[in-house]
């Protein structure tokens, strides 16, 4: 007697209790260590896991400004950009946003925000954090004094070879980085002392 095959198991849902955290860049400014990180919360499929995720976000001190209740999280991945400055400083949210299914950059698209590197340093937008297409090979940050900072992809930094762990861990050197769960690649770069952000573009 023939029997119907069992349906394939339902794949597990995303972890909604904790974000994936990626270190984008780090360095030293006036003897103080700084870091830029991205926390990405994966998209819950229904309202029940969305409720769990919203409670978890709040425990991290993170909540999207445009979300009134858990239903607003269904089907979207939410990210928070965090900045640390100095040994005593904790990671503070400086930017936030979300991705929905099918949303991603292409070609030379770039989305970026400029902000102070040091908390409270009004007017000196020395830190740039942005997103580009996954196949972007190089981003160039241009500063007001005419100097530039080039941010290569892993592929470029490794000279065309498969990037090694040592390249991946080189947060002192700005790189275009993959963030788990993001449809776009990310980068961060800091201006030298005495200048500030002017423009940013995908240049390769």
The predicted pLDDT at position 100 comes to 82
Nearest C-alpha neighbor of 112 from the set 97, 99, 100:
97
The predicted pLDDT at position 8 comes to 59
Ordered mean pLDDT values, 10 residues apiece, the chain (204 residues): 57 79 92 94 95 95 92 95 86 91 76 92 90 94 96 77 46 83 94 94 94
Three-state SS at 165: helix
3-state helix, strand, coil in the chain (%, to 5): 10, 40, 50
Residue owning tokens 């390769």: 204
The pTM for the full model equals 0.84
**Cα–Cα distance between 71 and 60 in angstroms, integer?**
19
Reduce the secondary structure of 48-95 to three states and give it as a string: HHHHHHHHHHHHCCCCCCCCCCHHHHCCEEEEEEEEEECCCCCCEEEE
Nearest C-alpha neighbor of 79 from the set 130, 40, 113, 48:
40
70: left (phi over 0), alpha (psi -120 to 50) or beta: alpha
The predicted pLDDT at position 166 comes to 41
Domain boundaries, the chain: 20-202
The predicted pLDDT at position 158 comes to 64
Q: CA torsion sign, 181 to 77 to 140 to 30? A: negative
Three-state SS at 127: strand
């Amino acid at each position: 007697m023939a029997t119907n095959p069992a349906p394939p198991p339902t794949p597990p849902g995303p972890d909604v209790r904790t974000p994936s955290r990626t270190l984008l860049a780090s360095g030293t400014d006036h003897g103080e260590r700084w870091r830029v990180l991205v926390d990405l919360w994966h998209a819950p499929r229904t309202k029940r896991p969305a409720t769990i995720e919203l409670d978890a976000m709040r425990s991290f001190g993170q909540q999207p400004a445009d979300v009134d209740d858990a239903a607003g999280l269904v089907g979207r991945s939410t990210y928070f950009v965090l900045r640390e400055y100095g040994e005593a400083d904790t990671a503070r949210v400086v930017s936030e946003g979300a991705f929905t299914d099918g949303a991603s950059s292409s070609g030379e698209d770039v989305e970026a925000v400029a902000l102070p590197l040091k908390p409270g340093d009004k007017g000196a937008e020395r830190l740039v954090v942005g997103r580009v297409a996954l196949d972007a090979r190089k981003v160039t940050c241009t500063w007001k004094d005419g100097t530039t900072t080039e941010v290569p992809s892993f592929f470029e930094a490794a000279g065309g070879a498969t990037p090694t762990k040592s390249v991946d861990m080189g947060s002192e050197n700005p790189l275009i980085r993959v963030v788990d769960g993001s449809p776009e690649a990310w980068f961060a770069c800091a201006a030298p002392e005495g200048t500030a952000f002017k423009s940013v573009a995908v240049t390769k």
